[in-house]
Structure formats: structure tokens, C-alpha cells
Amino acid sequence: MKNFVVKTLANAGALGVAIWLLQDITLTGESTGKKAWTLILVALVFGLVNFLVKPIVKLLTLPLFILTLGLITLVVNALMLLLTSWLAEQFDLSFHVEGFWTAVLGGLIISVVSWALNVVLPDGD
């Protein structure tokens, strides 16, 4: 359970950094508390997308992973971020990613920040 909470907080932090750095990734809300709550919910959706959908996409694109020496990971991460944005709209969460190239850069930022936060934060159960 602790591992799940840590990973969700790391995702929320990484998403927060991407929102802060890129003007085309937006999170809106009336107050800071509302924005924080929305960010946590989006991090949960992002975690579920990465847990359920990403392995299937990686398996289906395995030849591309081999052919591109793993660079297709940037595209897969961008697609997961765009899927998260779409799902957030469906759940009426005020999170939006504008465009594929923004999603590629956002996915790269989220990957790096999430990796760094997972190194720093404890992960034991």
C-alpha cells in the first residue's frame, strides 16, 4: 500500500513539473486545494493507464522497440499522456494536453522527474 501511495505522489509531482514547465499542459481549478486534488486524481488515472494499457501497447509494438532501439518509448509515453488527458476529460477533471509534440515533451519530463522522485522517495511496503 505504501508503494502505491509513493508512486502516486511521484506521478503527481512529475505531472506538476510538466504542467509548470509546459504551457500547453494545463490544470485549472478555483483554488490551490482543488488543483492539488485534481492533480492527485489525474496521477491516479495516469498510473492506471500506465499499469493497464502501456504493457499491451509495448507488447504490440515490440518490433518497433527493437527497430528504433527503444526510441519508440517516447511515442508510447506521449500516447499514454494523451490517453490520460482524454480520460480526464471524460471524468470531468480539468487536465488537458494540447497536441502530440507537447505530449512527447511532457512524457519525457514526466519520465525523468518520476524516475528521480522514485529514487529519492522510499518504496518499501
pLDDT in tens, 55-67: 999 899 899 989 9
Across the range 31-51, mean pLDDT stands at 90
Q: Tell me the pLDDT band of 1, cut-offs 50, 70 and 90.
A: low
The Cα–Cα gap between 90 and 110 comes to 22
Query: Domain ranges in the chain?
Result: 1-124
- pLDDT at site 33: 87
Task: Give the other-Cβ count within 10 Å of 67's Cβ.
Answer: 11
pLDDT score, position 52? 92
pTM: 0.87
Q: How confident is the model at residue 78 (pLDDT cuts 50, 70, 90)?
A: very high
The pLDDT value given to residue 75: 92
Q: What span, in angstroms and rounded, lies between the C-alpha atoms of 75 and 82?
A: 10
Q: Which pLDDT does position 85 carry in this prediction? A: 94
Per-residue pLDDT of 14-36, as tens digits, reads: 999 999 999 999 998 888 888 89
Q: Give pLDDT tens digits for 82-123.
A: 999 999 999 999 999 999 999 999 999 999 998 888 788 776
Count Cα neighbours of 84 within 13 Å in the Cβ-side half-sphere.
Answer: 35
Q: How confident is the model at residue 124 (pLDDT cuts 50, 70, 90)?
A: low
Closest CA to 102 of 72, 71, 73, 74: 74
